Amino acid sequence: MLLKLKTNAAVELTSRVNNLYCSRSLLSRTLLCTFLVVACFATKVQAEEGKTYANSKDFQLHGFISQGLIDVNGSDFVNDDGELSTELTEIGLNATYQLTDTFRLAGQVVYLDGGNRYAQGARVDYALLDWSAFTDEQWQANIYLGRFKNNHWLYSSSRDIPFARPSIILPQSVYFDGFRDIAVGSDGIAAKLSHSTDEYGNFDLQLSYGSSPISDEQTKNILSEHAQGSAEQDYDAQASLYWQPAFSPWRFGVSLLEAGFTYDSAGQANGDFFFDSDFTFQFYTMNAIYEGEAWEFSGEIYQQRFTIDGFYFPAFQLDNVGQGFYLQSRYKLTQQLTLLARYEDFYLDKDDKDGKEMEESTGGAIPYYFGFHKDTTIGVNYDITSNFSVRAEYHWVRGAGRLTPVVAPNPAINDSEDWQMWAVQLMYWF
Amino acid sequence: MLILACLVNPQALAIEIVTHPQVAESSLTKSQLRRIYTMRQLRWSDNRAITVFVLPSQHSLHQRFAKERLQIFPYQLNRVWHKLTYSGLGVAPTIVQSEQELIQAVINTPGAIGYVGDKTLIKLRQQHEQGLISAFKISQKVTNMEEEQKVSRKGVVNVVKIKD
């Protein structure tokens, strides 16, 4: 009975989510209310469930809801007018259902409103079939089919979960919101192999191959506001390895990515300034994290290679190697109160770190500060209960290298090298 | 002496690991327990699926269980579980609100594992003896003499010994 009620609630939300695409006004409010009802209801169900735990073994429903305020001064990161904004809404609902001993279904629907950061609306973050191919005391092998989430980078699996990631806005050079829907997961196949030993600790190897659909809005976000054609991701191949020595507070990881994209121009007759083109993107990261009782340190260092063949004119060629890193520290002042400090430094071309050559080569059309992105962040997180947190942070940013659109930037709005933002966010999850 | 014992007792409160009686394991190593709670070991030796129950992360018994029994900070456990739950990679433990609920869940779920304070175990045994709880019995596989005197009935939950 309870199981059925839960399922109905999930179906109701999903159908509401689908309606989103039709009418966008009033929508976030309706969805918010629906979600709150579902959330309260689900929590109540959990509390009343004392006698029916067999249900929770095969079916689980989880979700989160968060709302914040964000104010950006000096860039169009969130909005064009620079006013205080409520465009910081993240709502998610996920379910997992154990089909048989070795097969499981899992899926998550997310509704986002982040202003210019990404397209407003609902999307399916993952919807997959998990086959537990092998499991014993020390080994686990799983194959995931469908839309799976990217678990390769330090925070890629928690980037869209407000309370699970370390800050409201993540280091944009890795967790770039403009690429969010492409980077958060793929449609295809993924495999995970885990091994645990008392001597050497835990090893996690993950491989994935797939592609992500790219909407017209995303195409404009990534390429240019004037791109009238359509972009497609042809493939996205990734691998990562994590190692945590036995009983150690440290964990180390490496990841590799290669992706290919194509752009089909709508043609100059249809007002498209741009030409057919191929893009490739390679991304290599190394990361480490230390989790102590009070102190936590983490960092990622990375190199990317971005090539363009076409786009501006048929014979255009670009081959840029960008590099970056961030270092982050968190300190647990009390059981509930955590402080955060982070520094991020990223440049798009390692041979032109200050962007001067780019400015010259474009005849000043793209100012030098579009060549880098440096972000100094401080923040605070307070856990009110086991399921309810509030967070606040301040960012001092230098450079416009991580503002959309990426390929053909907009220096008219983003006319300053330095910009700042602050944000507060309330988060509830179950 | 009595007063001193009363004062010391709350701090000395032991945390017992309990399983469903059909679980064959009578003891686990500390690393096995850690693997089970970080969802790296999903099956018992007889290939039955393990169902893990926990208290909310800010519950004092949960905090102590994580630090003392698993030697992991509660926030680290949360991260491991959140990753599984919100990325579709796997299934995290089921959270229940109280020790009573947790025991009930372990009794009702084949393959279940959980933890309780030994005071709660003793209280429940006493209630059972007084006929307050009819279906509740506690089995004890620990060979320790003192433990055996405390709880010694064959019944609905196993108390599992944790070896270093």
CA distance A341 to A296: 11
Give the confidence band of A50 by pLDDT, cuts at 50, 70, 90: very low
Query: In this complex, which of B71, B89, B112 lies closest to A151 when CB atoms are compared?
Result: B89
pLDDT for A55 beyond 60: no
- Which comes out higher in pLDDT, residue A300 or B157? A300
Give strand pairing partners of A359.
Answer: none
Number of domains making up chain B: 1
- Which CATH number belongs to the domain containing residue B99 in this structure? 3.40.190.10
pLDDT digits (tens, 9 = 90+) for A176-224: 998 898 999 999 999 999 999 999 999 999 999 999 999 888 888 888 8
Q: Which residue has the higher pLDDT, A96 or A14?
A: A96
Residue A375, pLDDT score = 98
Instruction: Tell me, yes or no, if A307 comes closer than 8 A to chain B by beta carbon.
Output: no
Mean pLDDT of A67-87: 94
- Provide, as residue numbers in chain A, all residues whose Cβ is less than 8 Å from the Cβ of B76: 291
For position B119, what pLDDT does the model report?
86
Q: Is the CB of B82 less than 8 angstroms away from the CB of A161?
A: yes
> B131-151: b or e for each residue (b if 16 or more CB lie within 10 Å)?
eeeeebbbbbebeeeebeebb
**Interchain pair A386, B87: CB under 8 A:** no
Asked if B80 reaches chain A (Cβ–Cβ under 8 Å), the answer is no
Q: What are phi and psi of B29, to 5 degrees?
A: -80, 165
- Nearest CA to A320 among A359, A285, A351? A351
Q: For residue range A260-296, what is the model confidence (pLDDT) as tens digits?
A: 999 999 988 888 889 999 999 999 999 999 999 999 9
Do the chains contact at B79 and A144, CB–CB below 8 Å? no
How far is the alpha carbon of A97 from chain B, nearest alpha carbon, in Å? 9
Position A110 pLDDT exceeds 50: yes
Name the residue facing B109 among A46, A54, A291 (closest C-beta): A54
Q: CB distance from A157 to chain B under 8 Å?
A: yes
Residue A14 has pLDDT above 80, yes or no: no
> Which residue is it, tokens 């999850």?
A429
Q: Which residues of A48-87 are buried (b: 16+ CB within 10 A; e: fewer)?
A: ebbeebebbbebbbbbbbbbbebebebbbbbbeebeebeb
Residues of chain B short of pLDDT 50, as ranges, are: 1-10, 134-154
Task: Report yes or no: B32 and B17 within 8 Å, Cβ to Cβ.
Answer: no
Q: Considering the domain boundaries, does residue B10 fall inside one?
A: no
Q: According to the 3-state scheme, what is the secondary structure of A37-54?
A: HHHHHHHHHHHHHHHCHH
Q: What tokens does A10 get?
A: 């999930």
Average pLDDT in the A8-14 region?
42
- Please name the residue of chain A whose CA is at the shortest distance from the CA of residue B45: A137
What is the ipTM score, two decimals? 0.84
CATH of the domain at A168: 2.40.160.10
Tens digits of residue pLDDT in A322-336: 999 999 999 999 989
Crossing angle of the two packed helices B99-108 and B118-129, in degrees rounded to 10: 70
pLDDT at A289: 98
Q: B3 — alpha (psi -120 to 50), left (phi > 0) or beta?
A: alpha
State mean pLDDT over A69-80: 94
When pLDDT is cut at 50, 70 and 90, the band that residue A226 belongs to is confident
Q: What is the pLDDT of residue B140?
A: 44
DSSP sequence for A367-390: -GGGGEEEEEEEEEEEEEETTEEE
- Supply B25's token pair: 């394991």
What is the model's pLDDT at position B131?
Answer: 61
pLDDT score recorded for residue A4: 41
Q: Which of B87, B99, B163 to mutate to test the interface with A (most CBs of A within 10 A)?
A: B87
pLDDT score at B74:
94
**Shortest Cα–Cα distance, B16 to chain A (Å):** 21
Task: Quick: pLDDT tens for A315-324.
Answer: 999 999 999 9
Best mutation target among A137, A202, A335 (most B Cβ atoms within 10 Å) is A137
pTM of the model: 0.84
pLDDT at B132: 55
CA distance A302 to A347: 11
The alpha carbon dihedral of B75, A182, B90, A99 has a sign of positive
What helix, strand, coil percent values describe chain A, rounded to 5?
20, 50, 30
Q: Tokens 């079916």 map to which residue?
A: A59
Question: A54 vs B108: CB contact, 8 Å cut-off?
Answer: yes
Query: What residues make up the domain containing A268?
Result: 2-429
Domain that holds residue B134: 15-163
In one-letter notation, the amino acid at residue A193 is L
What mean pLDDT is reported for chain A? Answer: 88
Q: What one-letter code names the amino acid at B74? A: P
Contact state of A332 with B109 under an 8 Å Cβ cutoff: no
pLDDT digits (tens, 9 = 90+) for A367-397: 999 999 999 999 999 999 999 999 999 999 9
For the residues of B20-57, what is the DSSP string, one character each? -TT---SEEEHHHHHHHHTTS--B-TTSPBPEEEE--T
Is residue B2 included in any domain, yes or no?
no
Say yes or no: A383 contacts chain B, CB-CB below 8 A. yes
> What residues of chain B lie within 8 A of the CB of A331, using their CB?
none
B30 Cβ under 8 Å from any chain A Cβ:
no
CA dist., res. B121 & res. B162, Å (int)? 17
Q: In the prediction, which pLDDT does A406 show?
A: 82
How many structural domains comprise chain A? 1
DSSP letter at A115?
A: G
Q: Which of residues 103-132 of B touch A (CB under 8 A)?
A: 104-105, 108-109, 112
Task: Give domain status of residue B95, yes or no.
Answer: yes
Check CB contact of B60 with chain A, cutoff 8 Å.
Answer: no
Residues A233 and A261: beta-carbon distance below 8 Å: yes
State whether A157 and B89 contact (CB < 8 Å): yes
* pLDDT surpassing 70 at residue A2: no
Four-CA torsion B133, B139, B143, B148, nearest 10 degrees: 20
| B3 within a domain of the structure (yes/no) | no
Query: What are the start-end ranges of the E strands in A32-184?
Result: 59-73, 89-98, 103-113, 121-135, 139-149
B118 vs B65: CA distance, rounded Å: 12
Question: A-B interface: how many C-beta pairs under 8 angstroms?
Answer: 116
**Cα–Cα distance between A407 and A416 in angstroms, integer?**
18
Tokens at residue A94, please? 């996920």
What is the tens place of the pLDDT at every residue in A227-262? 899 999 999 999 999 999 998 999 999 999 999 999
Identify whether B6 is part of a domain: no
Q: Between chains, do A108 and B86 touch, taking CB under 8 Å as contact?
A: yes
Instruction: Return the minimum-mean-pLDDT range out of A42-56, A113-127, B43-57.
Output: A42-56
Which chain B positions have a beta carbon within 8 Å of A153's beta carbon? none
